[in-house]
Amino acid sequence: MSGSPPPRKPALRVAIVGAGVVGLSIALELRSRGADVAVYDRGIELGGGVSIRAAGMLGAAFEWAAEHDKRALAALARHAGQLWPDHAARLERLGGGPVEYSREGALVVARTAGEVEWIASLTAACQARSFSALTLPLKDLAVREPALAPDLLGGLWLADDQQVDPVLVLQRLGAALARTGVGLRFGRQVDRITAGQHFLMPDGEHYDRVVIANGAQPAPVFVGPRGARLSLGLPAPVPVKGQILAIAPIEQGPRHVIHTRDVYIAPKSRWILVGATTERNRADTEVDRDAIAQLRARAAALVPALADAPELTAWAGVRPGSPDDQPLIGQTAIPGVFAALGHYRNGVLFAPATAEIVADQVIDGKVSPLAAAFDPTRFDNPDAAPHSPSVKGSDN
Ligand code: GLY
């Protein structure tokens, strides 16, 4: 029997709150799967919260291999790291320019006997979780990274760790989204959303689904059609301030990301980033010159040429932490509203994995096993005790 084809289903309309690297990556993924997407942000630039202030290290092994109580997080980090080569190529293709993606790996170095022991335990942890970790004899360390100080006591090469320039990532995401027809609604504070048959935004637009990806900002308030407040079941974000120093690129500068226990160095073509402080429950972006001087001194102890290289600028960002320092990814207590929050130190790394997980859930209702441990409603009494570390039960 012939006849006209069945009418096409209208595209799912999705609003994303937050134009950071996580929100923008989710927008790109949803759009590529046919959704009609708009991104709202209270600011006026892409990634103007913390993303543009990030160091862009994709440090799956360094950050998570040794966190023994965070098995699920290490698995998510590994998966995200594996997505990055293709993700970077996609951003460059759709966004029309480079993201300075590097697969050089990261070096971890020791200056003290205590740090030598720490490197040994990091090596064992990486090996236990199948991250590549190669102990480097000192002469090989010097060959791999000639900028390093001659008096270091040990080195490790994490071949799986990668890096990008987060500023370029944001630019490419913005271009890719504009090109694929995603609405970018800047300067729009979304503090109240009405949930009914659809979700009504303050600008009068309706959506079928909402994704909250606004980092360390409080989530919007959701109300029912008669104005009663609805609970998302989310804890308040935990702000964790981080200060970073940007040093001018220099001829004798490092080529790799270099970590030790209390500082990292992330060389980009525009500058060499040295970070970062970790100041829990601090949401201000004041720069403290003593903290910056301390970062510089620690970096110079690893790479002597950084002692006198000109400082370009310094800044502070507010990482979006959570009560257990793990992300919140998935459906909230309000059906149709999803969280992509709490990415803490690793928003840039996790972004493509979170985008994939959220898109699977928003479009197909599929909950990835990778996200099971990051149920955003896992906290007890989220509204009553927003900063409590109490967790309902974790398979992590
Ligand atoms: N990812 C490095 C930092 O948060 O400082």
Taking the CA atoms of the chain, what radius of gyration do you get in angstroms? 22
State the pLDDT at residue 383.
61
User: Is beta strand 221-223 parallel, antiparallel or unpaired with respect to 192-195?
Assistant: parallel
Q: Which of 345, 348, 350 best tests ligand 1's pocket when mutated (most atoms within 8 Å of CB)? A: 345
What gap in Å lies between CA 177 and CA 74, rounded to an integer? 29
pLDDT range class, residue 7, cuts 50, 70, 90: confident
Q: Which of 346, 348, 349, 350 best tests ligand 1's pocket when mutated (most atoms within 8 Å of CB)? A: 346
Whether residue 396 is predicted with pLDDT greater than 60 in this model: the reply is: no
- Nearest atom in ligand 1 to the alpha carbon of residue 276 is 5
Whether residue 393 is predicted with pLDDT greater than 80 in this model: the reply is: no
Residue nearest to atom 1 of ligand 1 (CA): 345
Contact 158/258 with Cβ under 8 angstroms?
no
- Segment 8-17 mean pLDDT: 92
Whether residue 388 is predicted with pLDDT greater than 60 in this model: the reply is: no
Ligand 1 centroid to Cα of residue 2, in Å, is 60
Q: Which of 240, 258, 261, 264 best tests ligand 1's pocket when mutated (most atoms within 8 Å of CB)? A: 264
Domains and CATH numbers, the chain: 12-103+162-234+323-396 (3.50.50.60), 104-161+238-321 (3.30.9.10)
Ligand 1 centroid to Cα of residue 386, in Å, is 23
Q: Ligand 1 pocket by C-beta < 6 Å: which residues?
A: 55, 57, 242, 275-276, 319, 345
What gap in Å lies between CA 5 and CA 170, rounded to an integer? 40
Q: Mean pLDDT for the chain?
A: 93
State the pLDDT at residue 310.
97
Q: What is the pLDDT of residues 75-118, one digit of tens each?
A: 999 999 999 999 999 999 999 999 999 999 999 999 999 999 99
Residue nearest to atom 5 of ligand 1 (CA): 276
Question: Which residue, among 77, 156, 152, 88, has the nearest Cα to 303 in the 3D structure?
Answer: 152
Whether residue 162 is predicted with pLDDT greater than 50 in this model: the reply is: yes
Residues with Cβ < 8 Å from 156, sequence gap 6 or more? Answer: 107, 108, 109, 119, 122, 123, 133, 134, 135, 136
Ligand 1 centroid to Cα of residue 55, in Å, is 6
Q: What is the pLDDT of residues 32-48, one digit of tens each?
A: 999 999 999 999 999 99
What gap in Å lies between CA 85 and CA 100, rounded to an integer? 11
Residue nearest to atom 3 of ligand 1 (CA): 345
- Segment 272-289 mean pLDDT: 97
Whether residue 216 is predicted with pLDDT greater than 60 in this model: the reply is: yes
Whether residue 336 is predicted with pLDDT greater than 50 in this model: the reply is: yes
Whether residue 395 is predicted with pLDDT greater than 50 in this model: the reply is: no
What gap in Å lies between CA 131 and CA 42, rounded to an integer? 39
pTM for the structure as a whole: 0.94
